[in-house]
Amino acid sequence: MRIDVLTLFPEILEGPLHASLLGKAVAEGILDVAVTNIRDFATDRHRTADDSPFGGGPGMVMKCEPIFAAVESLRAKNSLERVILLSPRGRRFDQRMARDLAGAPDLVLICARYEGVDERVSQGLCTDEISIGDYVLSGGELPALVVIEAVSRMLPGVVGDWESVRTDSFYDGILGAPQYTRPPVFRGMEAPAVLREGNHAAIARWRRKEALRATLRRRPDLLEQSIESDRELLAELMREEQAPEKENEP
């Protein structure tokens, strides 16, 4: 898979793209990430990529001409099925979207800066706008890294053990189960005995139940489309969650 990132600040992406699993995926050719400086496509001697907004107002707006030119320069070697603007106005990025994007042969990620990007970029160039959350950052470079990291985990070979991906939070719509390692007891807090007894069926049931419990307590909205096989565990959890309340009733 190839991902092209268009930015005014390429140096922000250099370190993370060569570290940990991302660096391994790039080194092994599973993922090809190219970072392009939008200013390289400006036509004036000052390499101007922004200008004051029409109608007045604070700050600067990224110009459309260099961005169009940068994307069009990629068309000769890529299909460009998905050209994405990272913007607070975009659809909320989630695991389902990461899995969808991982199925594309290539992605273009455009990193906004300043007061935003000329609207004609969104109108005439982009297939998607994505937001990583309801807050504002100084630019789209960190969101681009978030998207690349999440999408890369969906590519075969990036994570050594696919089971690690399959048990991630949100992979199948709910949060992940709690995890424990040695020592078995730490400051009076004990790791669940079921995880240390070697009964794989019991461990699988415990993990699924505790994943559902965490989701019920922290993100109950995710349970609206729970699968049929979880109904029994959910009913059991609901009884357990309500039991302390009944015990405290006068």
To the query of whether residue 168 is one of the catalytic residues in this protein, the response is yes
To the query of whether residue 239 is one of the catalytic residues in this protein, the response is no
Name the active-site residue from 16, 53, 88, 178. Answer: 88
Task: Report the distance separating Cα 18 and Cα 24, nearest Å.
Answer: 8
Q: Which residues pair with 111 in a beta bridge?
A: 86
Give me 236's structure tokens.
């059991």
Name the active-site residue from 115, 149, 192, 208. Answer: 115
What contacts 191, CB < 8 A, 6 or more positions away?
180, 181, 184, 185
To the query of whether residue 44 is one of the catalytic residues in this protein, the response is no
Please give the biggest Cα pair distance in the chain. 80
To the query of whether residue 88 is one of the catalytic residues in this protein, the response is yes
Cβ atoms of 110 and 117 closer than 8 Å:
yes
Cβ atoms of 51 and 64 closer than 8 Å:
no
Name the active-site residue from 40, 65, 100, 168. Answer: 168
DSSP per position, 41-98: G--STT---EEPPTT--SS-EE-HHHHHHHHHHHTTT----EEEEEEEEEEEP-HHHH
Task: Report the distance separating Cα 170 and Cα 161, nearest Å.
Answer: 17
Report, as residue numbers or ranges, the catalytic residues.
88, 115, 153, 168
